[in-house]
Structure 1
Amino acid sequence: MSTLLFILGVLVMVVAIAFSIGLHEVGHLVPAKRFGVRVPQYMIGFGKTLWSFKRGDTEYGFKAIPLGGYIAMIGMYPPAKNKGVVGATDAPILRKSSTGMFQQMADEARHAAAEQLQPGDENRLFYKLPVYKRIIIMLGGPVMNLLIGVVMIGIVTVGFGMPSQTSTVEEVYQCVVPLGEESSRDSSVNNGCLPSDAPGPAYAAGLRPGDTITSFDGAPVGTTDWVELTQAIRGHAGESVPLTYEREGVEHSTTITPYKTERPVINDQGQLVTDAAGNPQTVEVGFIGMGSDVRNIQQPVSAVLPAVGQQVSGVAAVVLDLPARVAAVGKAAFSDTPRDPNGPISVVGVGRIAGEISAMEQIGVADKAASLISLIGGLNIALFVFNLIPLLPLDGGHIVGALFESVRRFFSKIFRRPDPGPVDIAKMLPLTYVVAVGMLVMGAVLIYADIVKPVSIFG
């Protein structure tokens, strides 16, 4: 049964990836057609066409390698300045230059593009559009992924709820174990306590698992105010503080004295703060020795965009350091070095995680659904950020090219110089091929690592 559930999770993610890619291309297709550009092809995948149909000017279909998608637009490459109009079929002009091979490459790309032209295409060329329309077309794909991500994360955040630390106590420690000794203690013997350990302040004050803290030092504590409560406790080391809690519907009062001890630094989101080497930072603070009950709490709609913003920020941090992170993944794949669970993964890794989530018997159906929807949302956020990288052949490269053209024409107008014309992205083909090869290599490394040393969210 677990194997079938694993396969089902993988299939769900395969379909989700296909739809995400397909809608990304729809994000390009709709504004392109709206602005009058002829689009000969809309394809999901690369390589040999498996199935297709034609409607109007466009052929829609699926190709053999489902690792992406594309739409073909007429007039992506403007004509060379010495060639006249697009559609000229004369042989490329060779010239003596250190970049002659690159010039030949650009001319051949223009020649191939010109062969797709049909009578009446003169005013349906992509490069002839105003800059803002070209930017809208190229932004359409990433924005579609962003919208999918917002919807998926919104469903999870508002509908299912987000895992949140609550003011209900899940565990109470009978003693204060010095930092660094937790792993060496046997919790089955006297609850892991030694005679030399200081008594746990929460246990000594009468708190037990299942109690719900309602106030601390006179300030009320809400259901989801665990982080604020923790910060207040850490700031009252050695002080006797009044505390109230509810047990089986009855409210009780007590006094608690947080123990001054060395503990990890925690930020406002309740996450550990590490130094440059990745080691947890510590500070002397108040500690009472208890843990929070984590439950899914439904959030207001206003919490959706901040949650999306956090994911965008996290993915952007990974993308900015992507080559180094992929190198680290490759090193882990070919050695005994542990793999960073927060590092990049491939579509194979995403599918495997989806399978693990579906096969876990300890997780309820609702939690499985929420996890898979959240995974789909995160995947689309990653596609949004990745496609905005300002390098060709990615959408961000085309956007930067259009912006550069706009700036160049603006200054030409200011200084009363001739219009420099559209930016010739065909001249960037050598760099485009380098980037494409680099992406293929990084993708191959990640896929290999996800096969031989996969990231497991369950350890």
Structure 2
Amino acid sequence: MTSLQHPPSQPTQPPTPPPPPGRQQEEERSTSPVRLAILAGLVAWLGLAGGWAPLVVVFGVVVMIFLHELGHYFAAKWGGMKVTEFFIGFGPKIWSFQRGETEYGLKVIPAGAYVKVIGMNNLDEVDPADEGKTYRQASYPRRMAVAVAGSTMHFLQALLLLFVLYSFVGVPGGSLTEDKEWEVGEVVPGSAAADAGLQAEDRVLEVDGRRYETFTTFAEDIAERPGEDVTLSVLRDGEVLDVPVEIGIAPSDPARGLLGIRRDLVTTTVGPVRAVGASVSDFWDQTGATLGFIGSFSPTDFWDSVVSSGSEPAAVDSPQPASGGGQ
């Protein structure tokens, strides 16, 4: 009989330790703090040299894009997909850390953000062990959730901002004082009101002995009297003063009088429960108005309005119209 012979057993080899970090990884790790310091210095220099307003705008855009990508990230993780990178910015890496299967960090150009999900298309090479975590292997509803999650975050941002406005800042487009006791909120520099010495918090009682029920009727009367000399009865610090004023002329319309004041805008805040309802209602109205505008938009009409708008720029110190609280 032929006996079966088994090959001698091989000694168990210990697992091969991971290779030490390469030179490129070491250089990248050592230069990341340097890049971060350079970026911080550049931001500080730009803020001091050119003002902080542009940086605030850039920061706001970056936050908005970050939240957009955060929506994709959460949807992918919820769908069981493997996310290998989540970075803010593009270009060379300046700082990062690894947590689980995802590397998080910053890159030098703050012009966006991105989330890297494995297997986004059929040509991506993926470790067979991770094939079940790819985007391409996920169900259609889960892939659709990843695709729309970024835009959904923008809608949630809008709702959150409306809630903050209603709860803490004041109702958008809050009520304007429409009684006989309205006060001057701002005097436009170089205007007829400024030349006459009107001040913020002045209360205009009469114009040439005539009282007005609302600020709108007052503004309409002033607009019909360009260049005329009038006397304003003004209440200031408990004392009634007669202030002579020569009504100015609107730069955009010589036939319209202009005083150069803005009234106070009175806003009111509401409680959290009411703010939720008001935010949803306002969001719905704004969305409907936007969709209606898109449906009625005409490139031809838009171009005609641009061409016919004229080349003379508006005056920098032009006050708001009466409907917006200005005269």
- Flag the structure with higher helix content: 1
Q: TM-score, normalised by structure 1?
A: 0.36
Question: Of the two structures, which has the highest relative contact order with CA contacts closer than 8 Å and spacing of 6 or more?
Answer: 1
Q: Report the structure number with the largest CA radius of gyration.
A: 2
